[in-house]
Structures are given as structure tokens and as C-alpha cells.
Amino acid sequence: MCSKVIISLLLLYTSSTSAYFITVDAHAEECFFDKVEAGTKMGLTFEIAEGGFLDIDVRIVGPDDKVIYQGERETSGKYTFSAHTAGTYTYCFSNKMSTMTPKVVMFNMAIGEGPKAEHQEGDSTNKLEDMIRELSASLTGVKQEQEYMQVRDRIHRSINENTNSRVVMWSFFEALILVAMTLGQVYYLKRFFEVRRVV
């Protein structure tokens, strides 16, 4: 019974976190929106998984069209802020600087709890609820870290496979050059030591 209560409270207090993989085409921009109350803690974590030089332009805009954060040619990042006014916040990933390469972006938009209502006199905060909130925040952090590590693993695996194929091709090229040089030297030495008869 107690475990059911804890699990239901944990689900109730879990902050809204969404992980997405998107493809941003060349000369394109993808935007996402979240409607929140003033004072709500928000966060954006992103990582470029594939494409070009693994960079993208990022912009976060508030409901009053005020730019909260703007970064150019970033490969990864984490930005946390509190909503200054109630309304719709926009997260945009722009690949307009790329001429032909689409980019694959993994990102999380974390929306925390809204501002807590003032406690009336005589109300006491429930310690169990506070602990569940902390546990929920920790679990969300672990989940985001796992997703980040999966993307990093995929990027490194791709780099290693690419490097390995280049090393193999270079080794074949070197072997062909060595065989050609060996045959050329044998032919040259054979001709050098040939006895020429004068008639």
C-alpha cells in the first residue's frame, strides 16, 4: 500500500520532460513551443547527433519576443532559466548556414513545477512530498544523462568506423604501392645485370 502511494506521488510530481530526435534540413529552421506560467523553471539540453560539422544555431524566445538565449554553431549545450512572464516560449534550431547537409538533433525540454502557492498559516509542508520531488528531479537528470550518453556513443562509434575504414583503405593503397615498387625494382635490376652481346 505504501509503495503504491509513493509511486503515485512520484508520477504526480514528475516534471514534464520530453526527449526528441529531429532532422533539420539545410536552409531550414525547426521550432517548438511550450506554454508555461510565470516563474516556472525551464531547461533545454541538446546534442547534435549527425550531419556536417555537428553544429547548429539555437535560439530561445519568450512570449514577448525577447530573445532569452542565442547560440551560433553549437554542438551541444544546456541552458536553464525561469519564465519571466506567462505565455508561450519558443525553442528554435536553425540549419540555415548549411548548404546541403541536414543535421540530426537530440534535445530535451524540461518544464519544472510552476511557482508554489503561498502556504497558509498553520499548514506544514509534507516531508515525504519534498523527498519525492527531489527523487523525481534526480530520476529526470539520470534519464537525460543516459540519453546524452547514447548520443555521444553513437557519434563516437560513427567516428571510429569512419576512421577504421580510412585506415583500411590507406593500408590497401600502401600495399599496392609496395608491390608496384618491388616489381619495378626487380625489373630494373634484371635489366641492369643483363649481359649485352656486341656483334
Tell me the pLDDT band of 156, cut-offs 50, 70 and 90: confident
198 belongs to a structural domain? no
Which of residues 95 and 158 earns the better pLDDT score?
95
136 belongs to a structural domain? yes
Q: What is the pLDDT of residue 43?
A: 86
* Percentage of the residues of the chain whose pLDDT score is greater than 70: 82
- Report the C-alpha gap between 89 and 15 in whole angstroms: 17
Instruction: Work out the mean pLDDT of the chain and round it to a whole number.
Output: 81
Answer for the pair 81, 57: CB distance below 8 angstroms, yes or no.
no
For residue 19, what are the domain limits? Answer: 2-116+124-154
Q: What is the CATH number of the domain that holds 26?
A: 2.60.120.680
Tell me the pLDDT band of 157, cut-offs 50, 70 and 90: confident
160 belongs to a structural domain? no
Counting the structural domains of the chain, the total is 1
- 6-22: pLDDT as tens digits: 444 444 444 445 567 88
193 belongs to a structural domain? no
What average pLDDT does the segment 140-157 reach?
81
pTM: 0.61
169 belongs to a structural domain? no
176 belongs to a structural domain? no
Tell me the pLDDT band of 166, cut-offs 50, 70 and 90: very high
199 belongs to a structural domain? no
- Annotate the chain with DSSP letters as a single string: -HHHHHHHHHHHH--EEEEEEEEE-TT-EEEEEEEE-TT-EEEEEEEEEESTTS-EEEEEE-TTS-EEEEEEEESEEEEEEE-SSSEEEEEEEE-TT-SS--EEEEEEEEE-PPPPPPPPTT----HHHHHHHHHHHHHHHHHHHHHHHHHHHHHHHHHHHHHHHHHHHHHHHHHHHHHHHHHHHHHHHHHHTPPPPP-
71 belongs to a structural domain? yes
- 44-103: pLDDT as tens digits: 888 888 888 888 999 999 999 899 999 999 988 888 888 889 999 999 999 988 888 899
